[in-house]
Chains A and B, each alone.
Chain A
């Protein structure tokens, strides 16, 4: 991407002064450069976490221990989760935010460009710490990405590296969020009122508030783990007056909003793509904004639905069940609005639209399995089984990842100045769709039939579905290399993309900026009617 943004088109605009070579990227304060770095970083982490997933699926291909030992298996589940959540999905959407928010609100850059640089450059060291934990005595923590105490207190020094990494990642997220909130609230072009902002900007404004609220909570949880490990405190040790379940309360007070931190920007991308390819304005813009805001508020009030089996009081179980079921209402509103946007439109199905429809279809399935899990008596059977694994991968992969793909195909022409290969893009979509369902649809059955999650070996009656799942996983992994090829091919292409390649796209980056977007855009604000 660097070649395109950095050189080919610089001359055309004449004012793109920046250092060249590596120092350009180290010192850059340009929101487009930083957005690009976020996206590449997240893709590298996506492949890293993906390889770990393949180790897991290889071990689970059939009963018996073949590929790794149980310790390494647990380390893989932990790192896969942490890397995908904090290294792949979150940075990917921060990348989108950096690229798009200034362009969509008519601002020249982010409000704090230097802090923006710092937010990004904190990520690689944190990722290195996570990877490094594999090579210290005792290896990476084998506790799952939820880092539950007291198991996490028992771990080797890999756990300390993980705690440090989480602290750094949290700092990065908080700074990034402050930047986004300040940018959106202060740098909008004249006439760009809040209720005129593209929905993508709205979703990020709300997400940024969520991040600022919960990342310090996670930092608190891991710090308490750290002091329990080394400094003689007993936050999570009953013998010293603490309570292991306290960790879960704190973790999920962060963890549940975190789910929406990942999902809400995805809603934003989909809300840009579907109207563009329906050639029709988004249905129910106002109710979309209110739905996202209510989902965000509700996300703070439902955390203990991850803890139905810990022995909550009956009233606690009932309250968390009702509150959680309530989330289905605003989520339903969003899905209905998207379908109503398509209704009586003039639809076409280029790759971004295909991924959006894939998102809509599979995310809704994940929503339904979420509703099933919200109901306490059913969750008692399904908690900590493969049904849960299936559920959150429908939301995280088919939800967040598919919408990230939709967004990348949608904006690639604007970013690089070239069109991607439509035929290959469609192949990428259909292969991802088929392999994704091969991996995760069958896992619903595994969970129902009684296979617990996070086990390296299983009883023979689970064999068939595990084999299907593992084959699908390797297919899905290979398909993502095709995606890499498509993106590289697009960057190196010589075919120029028009300013507005999508007929129905109507936000400022399409209507007011040339393709590719110049290095500095909107130095004088546009007028928004």
Chain B
């Protein structure tokens, strides 16, 4: 343990001493990740341009400063001049930077306009941030591919085992950047994202795509990407969202259009039996379970934030004691950390009531 630690410190020190050598070996460490969409590429190039301009100005200004530090020091007998203003110079160094800035703002404006143009997508995916996982849903809507996977929906949760995080097992290759169900998208197609959150702010960030969009509960934001190459791309939640913020990664698999269609077909048949059960349940007593699975389970399955846990008799007893009406009302209007309807404001009241009854039945 200690030995590897020192080896790592040694490696770190080496990294500082011979940057050029390491640069050649491991370029990815020193700059933005390799871009894989046109937007990300523009970001990458824009950053390079701005960095170079800054570097040139930096060398100029501090060249002058260090020249002064070396030549104009008292210890070499330099006598102080007494000038303290020069209108020409002062106007020049106000105006010239202004034009340099315009030079930077122009390409930046072009990129912003391209980045925000989410029109005419080939397909649309709705992304929902939860504490602490991502939900993905393929929507029906405009675009040639919208029908291919519409209705497919799933959660995407960190797949790194607890033991690896707490040092009881060696860390895997994609430690903290692996999930159980990656988002699957076709390459070369414009994918529009509709991003929202269920509880607090999250931010869906995929560096290789140049997409970072905050997920705001109660509001829908959009973004888009068109991946140029099949592969697995990894990102993370970028907005502090509570204790597991560091543990809700994003993984996107970009595949060919054909593989995407195959995957979508498989997901659809896999989902079908579930839908059948849901229908049966609906016939038996409202869509309680469906609503529970979709909305309530996010908190009530694990008992997040003081929510009474599904099936936990002790937690539910005092609540049930307040009467069914009070219980329905709390669910509709919100209680403690729970927002009205658990945040699913578009849900019909009947479904919420049914879901409450379903949860109550489980502890009776």
Contacts and interface: CB of A to CB of B under 8 A. Distances in A.
Interface residues on B, range: 35 or more
Nearest to B168: A64
B216 interface: yes
Nearest to A322: B105
A244 B201 contact: yes
Contacts of B214: 309-311
B61 A336 contact: yes
Contacts of A342: 65, 68-69, 72
B94 interface: yes
A380 B216 contact: no
Nearest to A504: B80
Contacts of B210: 377, 380-381
B340 A455 contact: no
B243 A74 contact: yes
Contacts of A74: 240, 242-243, 245
B240 A346 contact: no
B159 interface: no
Given A245-B216, A280-B82, A364-B58, A347 B73 contact: yes
Q: Is the interface of A mostly helix, strand, loop or mixed?
A: helix
Given A66-B167, A142-B243, A449 B97 contact: no
A76 interface: no
B31 interface: yes
A317 B244 contact: no
Given A310-B214, A342-B69, A455-B245, A368 B109 contact: no
Contacts of A333: 90, 93-94
A64 B166 contact: yes
A365 interface: yes
B314 interface: no
A240 B242 contact: no
A456 interface: yes
B32 A381 contact: yes
Interface in B36-67: 39-40, 42-43, 46-47, 50-51, 54, 57-58, 61-62, 64-65
Interface in A454-474: 454-461, 463-465, 467-468, 471
Given A280-B84, A377-B46, A64 B240 contact: no
A74 B50 CA distance: 33
A80 B196 CA distance: 30
B112 A65 contact: no
Interface in A273-298: 278-287
A37 interface: no
A321 B166 contact: no
B213 A309 contact: yes
B175 A460 contact: yes
Contacts of B176: 63, 457-459
B82 A62 contact: no
Contacts of A336: 61, 93
Nearest to B117: A314
A168 B317 CA distance: 42
Contact of B236 (A285, A349, A448, A455): A455
Nearest to A348: B74
Interface in A21-67: 62-66
A365 B58 contact: yes
B54 A452 contact: no
A309 B43 CA distance: 14
A164 to B, nearest CB: 21
Given A151-B242, A311-B221, A458-B176, A372 B247 contact: no
B325 interface: no
A377 B65 contact: no
B74 A238 contact: no
A275 to B, nearest CB: 9
A62 B5 contact: yes
Contacts of B245: 70, 74, 454-455
Contacts of A154: 199-200, 242, 305, 337
A313 B68 CA distance: 47
A522 to B, nearest CB: 27
Given A321-B105, A377-B115, A449-B33, A344 B81 contact: yes
B90 A284 contact: yes
Interface string A335-370: 110011111111111000000010011001100100
Contacts of A482: none
Contacts of A309: 203, 212-214, 238-239
Given A342-B72, A372-B54, A449 B47 contact: no
Interface stretch (A128-136, A184-192, A324-332): A324-332
Given A283-B85, A314-B116, A372-B51, 6 more contacts: A318-B109, A346-B79, A372-B54, A381-B40, A465-B29, A468-B13
Interface of A: 62-66, 69-71, 74, 142-144, 148, 150-151, 154, 237-240, 243-245, 278-287, 309-311, 314, 317-318, 321-322, 325-326, 328-329, 332-333, 335-336, 339-349, 357, 360-361, 364-365, 368, 371-372, 375-378, 380-381, 383-385, 445, 448-450, 452, 454-461, 463-465, 467-468, 471, 504
- Which A-B residue pairs are the 7 nearest by beta carbons? A238-B218, A455-B246, A311-B221, A346-B80, A377-B111, A344-B81, A368-B54
7 contacts: A62-B8, A238-B345, A285-B85, A332-B93, A344-B68, A377-B43, A457-B246
